[in-house]
Chain A
């Protein structure tokens, strides 16, 4: 199995506070990994480090044989490192089709063209139609994103992710805020992601984690404290302590 993404000794501190401490992990082709951890464990910081939104204080990220630590966000995306957002970040005033088409055109390196009509280019349209149909969104193609329900917007986040042909896909709480009866749609879409890509999902909902993950990473106080199968995670002493500990802390500070 080829290693697609690797974190080597990644640390990050904010003003003396260590938010990420010596994190090491590898994602290989076909991986389905869940990253869990109590509130404030530094999960979102870790995602932001991976995508290049913030720079690590120490340590590196590698994709294959390349050190990507110094690369900008767009450069990482072009290498196939793609994320979705916990709270949807979409082009709200554009249509659903435009949102996906922009991602496709960016991937195909045709988004600098200045004299052809954008979303309706045949090769682009064929692709966004297929992605939207795949996610059951085809009837909404020409609606503005801002007019859609939240669950539908979450699916568009996934649609954009798919359109970028990721090698590594980071899903930041893909089902957060989605009405309960729509959550299976999200899981269904995730299960149908291309088999060879590596998916790292940050999730609170343990139901979803068990259905999705073949490997679980547990982050607590910025440190990876567990790596193993979903079956073992609930039995692990340190994981239980981390969760209980955080609850105890929360009650103290409340």
Chain B
């Protein structure tokens, strides 16, 4: 029952302890990937890109309770914007991230303004419509996006003018990892802020939120903007590190897949979003290689097992164990 309580346990003595722990954990996992799987860095870089999208989805779905099946739009718009900017001469990777962030934010605000006007099924259908609209545009505006061939020839410059992108994805991986750590730490603060807490309140009971004087709609749109920024960064990172942007980045399948990842890991928790991405992507990577014809069946089975045995996602039992351990530690 008390699995998620730990985020609001009394503040620890050391300021930024949670943030530091978060950063170190991601860095440690990242180091494992870098040193143990040097041949899979391209895949792991793609994984990190997707992790941004799942984190972004967690902000609107896990923290605000917005149902959406069109979230890839924010990611895709960020990816296309960065890709187009790069081809037209903006080659600095950090500047390209900025382009993705801004594009994602704008897309997030537009989507949010439409989607959060409604609740329940209309909301879900509208989110699909927005996603399909963006996918349709990406296909039709081929002079800008490359249409069904996608956007290729994205050749970003060196990071800080020093680290060039290489064919082994080393730079891409480390650059993505660094951006993920920064984003994650910022989000850890953000979700515990008054704004983030209020979003969780709105998710719990929006009438109660109104009755303490909160205007719900602007909050949700703002949150969508933040989520769009996170997804846009992820899209830009993917564009920079892979050098291509295709229609898959805005597809309905992408939107549905990240929702699966989020449910798998545990919505409403940043670690849940990360865990879900890592597990799903690695599972897909390994099983698809071993059995290319039936891997989706296996993914389906895995998901059924998790929904049955850990309905709040894989992170929930881990968190409740953590809470027990820390409580014991305090008692001792």
Q: Is B194 interfacial (CB 8 A cutoff)? A: yes
- B170 in the interface (beta carbon within 8 A): no
Q: How large is the interface on B (under 10, 10 to 19, 20 to 34, 35 or more residues)?
A: 20 to 34
Interface 9-residue window, one of A20-28, A31-39, A85-93, A209-217: A85-93
Is the pair B213, A106 in contact by a Cβ cutoff of 8 Å? yes
Identify the A interface with B (CB < 8 A): 51, 53, 72-74, 77-78, 82-83, 85, 89-95, 97-99, 101-103, 105-107, 110-121, 142, 144, 147, 160, 164
Q: Which residue of chain A has the shortest Cβ distance to B201 in the bound complex?
A: A91
Do A90 and B205 contact each other (CB < 8 Å), given the known contacts A82-B211, A117-B11?
yes
Given contacts A93-B4, A98-B8, A102-B201, whether A77 and B211 have CB atoms under 8 Å apart is yes
Tell me whether B194 and A116 are in contact (CB under 8 A).
yes
List B252-297 residues whose CB lies under 8 Å from chain A.
none
Within 8 A of A (CB), among B65-92: none
Q: A92-B204, A95-B5 are in contact. Are A107 and B213 (CB under 8 A)?
A: yes
In the bound complex, residues from chain B placing their C-beta under 8 Å from that of A73 are 210-211
- Please tell me which one of the listed residues A51, A83, A144, A164 contacts residue B5 in the complex, with CB atoms under 8 A apart: A144
Given contacts A72-B215, A95-B5, A102-B198, list 9 more A-B pairs with CB under 8 A. A85-B211, A90-B205, A94-B8, A94-B200, A99-B201, A106-B213, A118-B192, A120-B10, A142-B5
Q: Which one of B2, B5, B193, B212 lies within 8 Å of A113 (CB-CB)?
A: B193
Task: Sample 25 A-B pairs with CB under 8 A, ordered by A number.
Answer: A51-B211, A72-B210, A73-B210, A74-B210, A78-B213, A82-B211, A83-B211, A85-B208, A91-B208, A91-B209, A93-B204, A94-B204, A101-B197, A102-B198, A106-B212, A110-B194, A113-B193, A117-B11, A118-B192, A118-B193, A118-B194, A118-B196, A120-B10, A142-B5, A164-B212
Within 8 A of A (CB), among B193-226: 193-198, 200-201, 204-205, 207-215
- Provide the residues of chain A in CB contact with B189, threshold 8 Å: 115, 117
Closest 10 CB pairs of A and B: A77-B213, A91-B204, A118-B197, A120-B11, A91-B201, A89-B208, A73-B210, A118-B194, A114-B195, A111-B194
Q: Which single residue of chain B is at the shortest CB-CB distance from A88?
A: B208
What is the bound-complex CA distance between A83 and B211, given in angstroms?
Answer: 7
Q: Given A77-B211, A91-B208, A142-B8, does the pair A111, B200 have CB atoms closer than 8 Å?
A: no
At the interface, is chain B mostly helix, strand, loop or mixed? Answer: helix
Q: Given known contacts A117-B11, A119-B8, is B197 in contact with A94 (CB within 8 Å)?
A: yes
Nearest CB on A from B143, distance (A):
39
Q: Closest B-chain residue to A105, C-beta based? A: B194
User: Which of A91, A98, A113, A120 has the largest number of chain B CB atoms within 10 A?
Assistant: A91
Interface centre among A72, A94, A121 (most CB of B within 10 A): A94
Q: Give the docked Cα–Cα distance between A111 and B209 (Å).
A: 12
Chain A residues with CB under 8 Å of B210's CB are 72-74, 77
Closest Cβ neighbor of B226 among chain A residues: A114
Given A77-B212, A91-B205, A160-B212, A144-B2 contact (CB < 8 Å): yes
Task: Please give, as numbers and ranges, the residues of chain A lying within 8 Å of B1 by CB-CB distance.
Answer: 144, 147
Contact partner of B201 (CB less than 8 A), chosen from A82, A94, A112, A142, is: A94
